[in-house]
Amino acid sequence: MTASNSSPQIVVVYHSGYGHTRRMAEAVAKGAGATLHAIDAEGNLSEDGWVALDAADAIILGAPTYMGGPSWQFKKFADASSKPWFSAKWQDKIFGGFTNSASLNGDKLNTLQYFALLAGQHGGMWVSLGIKPSNTRASLRDDPNRMGSYLGPMAQSDADAAPAEMSIGDLETGRLYGARVAGIARQRKS
């Protein structure tokens, strides 16, 4: 690996069903200085998105947790990633991921484990959250890592709440995670 002073190229690729995961993706991208590429309602990613992923130093995956795992649209994207898998295009890239669901638990851990396994299949290196949980009596809904995750950010959005009503702490957790991924990608690139 050659030394480089340029910033790492980071891509957040995500699916959002109702706008909450999109808002989380924006927070993660802000922290990482990343570009956003959305998986559409049919589970497709634009050609520009695939090109950006191939060129990226770090890839951050995001999807809502539906029925105990990532949305089917994200799974379609994951299956389509077998094309870069065959040629090891994402080998040794930095990976991370985040998710959102309506329930406090909502089996979000399963979605993050799915992302980490996908990263492993591509030969990537996973970045953990690195933020201790807010789990004392004094903790508030808007504190970072209120979900107590270690693998990556988890957000909880009430089923009847608009994306604008998301927890500021969940969004801050996403922003801090994006910054962590970017920092690790910078270290790796230098």
- Which class is domain 10-189? alpha beta
Q: Residue 6 above 90 pLDDT? A: no
Overall average pLDDT of the 45-65 stretch: 98
Nearest to 63, CA basis, from 46, 82, 76: 76
**4 — pLDDT class (breaks 50, 70, 90):** low
Q: Contact at 8 Å (CB) between 127 and 96?
A: yes
Question: pLDDT by residue (tens digit) across 63-118?
Answer: 999 999 999 999 999 999 999 999 999 999 999 999 999 998 889 999 999 999 99
pLDDT at 140: 84
Q: Residue 39 above 60 pLDDT? A: yes
Q: Contact at 8 Å (CB) between 93 and 58?
A: yes
Q: Contact at 8 Å (CB) between 57 and 94?
A: yes
Dist CA 95 CA 42 (whole Å):
24
Total-model pTM: 0.95
